[in-house]
Amino acid sequence: MSDPIYFDHNATTPVDPRVVQSMLPYFSDQFGNAASSTHAFGWEAGKALDDARKRVALCLGAQKPEQIIFTSGATEANNMLIKGLFFAKDDEPFHIVTQETEHSCVIKSIEFLKGLGAEVTVLPVDQEGFINLDDLKKSLKPHTKLVSIMWGNNEIGTLQAIQEIGDIVRNHSDALFHCDAVQAVSRVAIDLKNLPIDCLSFSAHKFYGPKGVGAMYLSERFFKTRWQPLLHGGGQEFGLRSTTVNIPGVIGMAKALELAQEDWQSEVARLSHLRNHLIDRVLNEIPHALLNGSRDKRLCHNASFCIPYTESGLLLLAMPQIACSSGSACASGKTEPSRVALAIGRSPEEARATIRFGLGKSNTKEQVDFAVECLKEACLKERKKSLAYEMLQQKKS
């Protein structure tokens, strides 16, 4: 296999050609601004926007199209939600609950608000990356305004018990429950009218849609809560996000979601099978290899490993045929160990030896087997340079 094989679908996915085709007319022939209400070009764009909103709402089980607010992606949506709630609080105490392994855009937004006076509780996770539901229950206070827990972890793949978490939040507080579902949308069953979620954010480029577009779902409970928009201007997106809406992008996202639903069951089953095959081979054939995250309650396309006595950066360099990562794409190029790996109990050395595979539509069993052989060869090569590994082998002999 001469060309690199793409195993980084947690970071991003290629745009489906059918998605591209659905977007093309809105770059040229139907180029109007949806906010231009005085002529046919604007009316056409507005109709396309309304149609995309209805389609996205239908795919996710939202009760009303107006509950879908288009953004540039989940990072913007998460910032808008968290900071918008805080900035609308007046002089009231404001308490936020999140978890150690949350995405950096949530963690950094909350840290920013902590500097402005917000009270913050960061829940620890266990060795598989799960929060303790009793810890969550105990953390809730009369002035808790928001609980933010991601559905599927972008680094280690762990799927949190979202139904149970949402029930606890609603039964024991007046707080809103926010869920970053970037990795979960198109990979787990989502029916928002039957889930105790008040705010859900996602990005199109994670499920074969275009980059630079995403959305947040907002429940009826959210619309009864005071909230301050971060962007002020023309009042687009029902006054919640002022800027010219990316019509080609939202059309592409709607199409990508519909395509994901068409073969959802079979593709999730196929990816789960490939993931399990990859996990089994790595754990059985690479001595001392460890799986990061839950074995069973994990994203269908994610496999994250700690390979002790190596460094992930060197492993990746030793496998130019394989395009995978050392963890979150948002932390790519950083030398410090992954805070997610540290949170689940990995040592700094083990955290630096973490490698992540993100499976996708194009991946086959043949490619997975080839990747495992490449990884085995890279591990042997790098471990020959490890004094600690040499000492371990001497002890065994």
| Together in a domain, 92 and 132 | yes
Task: Domain count for the chain, please give it.
Answer: 2
| Together in a domain, 164 and 218 | yes
Residue 159: φ, ψ to 5°:
-100, 115
Residue 254, pLDDT > 90, answer: yes
Residue 108, pLDDT > 80, answer: yes
| Overall average pLDDT of the 83-88 stretch | 96
Q: What is the CATH number of the domain that holds 244?
A: 3.40.640.10
Q: Return the pLDDT at 385.
A: 85
Percent of the chain scoring above 70 in pLDDT:
97
Residue 357: φ, ψ to 5°:
-110, 130
The gap from C-alpha 16 to its chain's centroid, in whole angstroms, comes to 19
Q: Return the pLDDT at 2.
A: 66
- Give CA separation, 357 vs 26, 276, 338, 369, 396, in Å: 35, 12, 15, 13, 31
Q: Which of 300, 324, 330, 374 is catalytic?
A: 330
Question: Tokens representing 114?
Answer: 């902590």
| Together in a domain, 279 and 245 | no
| Domain containing residue 319 | 5-12+264-396
Q: Which amino acid is at 315?
A: L
Q: What is the average pLDDT value for the chain, to the nearest integer? A: 94
| Overall average pLDDT of the 142-165 stretch | 98
Q: Return the pLDDT at 396.
A: 75
Q: How far apart are CA 158 and CA 343, in angstroms?
A: 13
Picking from 262, 284, 304, the residue at the C-terminal end of a domain is: 262
Kindly report, residue by residue over 370-385, the tens digit of the pLDDT: 999 999 999 999 988 8
Q: What is the CATH number of the domain that holds 385?
A: 3.90.1150.10
| Together in a domain, 217 and 319 | no
Question: Which is more confident, 335 or 113?
Answer: 113
pLDDT band at residue 127 using 50, 70 and 90 as cut-offs? very high
List the one residue out of 303, 293, 312 whose CA is nearest residue 353.
312
Are 148 and 178 in contact by the 8 Å Cβ rule? The answer is: yes
Picking from 262, 286, 307, the residue at the C-terminal end of a domain is: 262
Residue 193, pLDDT > 80, answer: yes
392 exposure class (CB count in 10 Å sphere: 0-12, 13-18, 19+): middle
Picking from 213, 234, 262, the residue at the C-terminal end of a domain is: 262
| Together in a domain, 123 and 202 | yes
| Together in a domain, 268 and 213 | no
Integer distance in angstroms from the first to the last C-alpha of the chain? Answer: 37
pLDDT band at residue 37 using 50, 70 and 90 as cut-offs? confident
Are 109 and 59 in contact by the 8 Å Cβ rule? The answer is: no
309: left (phi > 0), else alpha (psi -120 to 50), else beta?
A: left
Are 302 and 356 in contact by the 8 Å Cβ rule? The answer is: yes
| Together in a domain, 385 and 361 | yes
> Is 105 considered catalytic here?
no
| Together in a domain, 155 and 224 | yes
Kindly report, residue by residue over 195-227, the tens digit of the pLDDT: 999 999 999 999 999 999 999 999 999 999 999
Q: Return the pLDDT at 335.
A: 63
Kindly report, residue by residue over 278-333, the tens digit of the pLDDT: 999 999 999 999 999 999 999 999 999 999 999 999 999 999 999 999 865 554 55
| Together in a domain, 161 and 271 | no
